[in-house]
Amino acid sequence: MLFFVALQPADAQSKRKNKKATVSYPESTYESLEYRSIGPFRGGRSAAVTGVPGKPNLFYFGAAGGGVWKTEDGGQTYENISDGYFGGSIGSVAVAKSDPNVLYVGGGEVT
């Protein structure tokens, strides 16, 4: 009797492992969706991101492909604020504690 009780938890665990971890939806669920690019268009991947204290929707990020980008709407849209100034990858971005309008930007990619 004790042997039978000891096997039941192991049997329950093996049944749980065989279940799928994902849910499938019919293809018709996605038929009405259309692709749209939400940007940043030239930003690519980023290694440096910073926010501004007291402004929860304001962020800056430095792109590995070059440029510093700014969003004021929590990431819905981005603006490249460095065109004409930066040519290489950006590895670091920081907001000055003394003045949130001052950014410190470091070139090069973090490896």
- Which H helix or E strand runs over 80? strand 79-80
Whole-number pLDDT of residue 14 = 60
Token pair recorded at residue 21: 């971890």
Tokens 């910073």 found at: 50
Predicted confidence (pLDDT) per residue in 20-75, tens digit: 667 788 888 888 888 776 665 554 677 799 999 999 999 999 888 788 899 999 98
Query: d(Cα 75, Cα 53) in Å, to the nearest integer?
Result: 16
Q: Tell the burial category of 109 from Cβ atoms under 10 Å away from its Cβ (0-12, 13-18, 19+).
A: middle
**What pTM was computed for the model?**
0.57
Whole-number pLDDT of residue 8 = 56
Whole-number pLDDT of residue 12 = 57
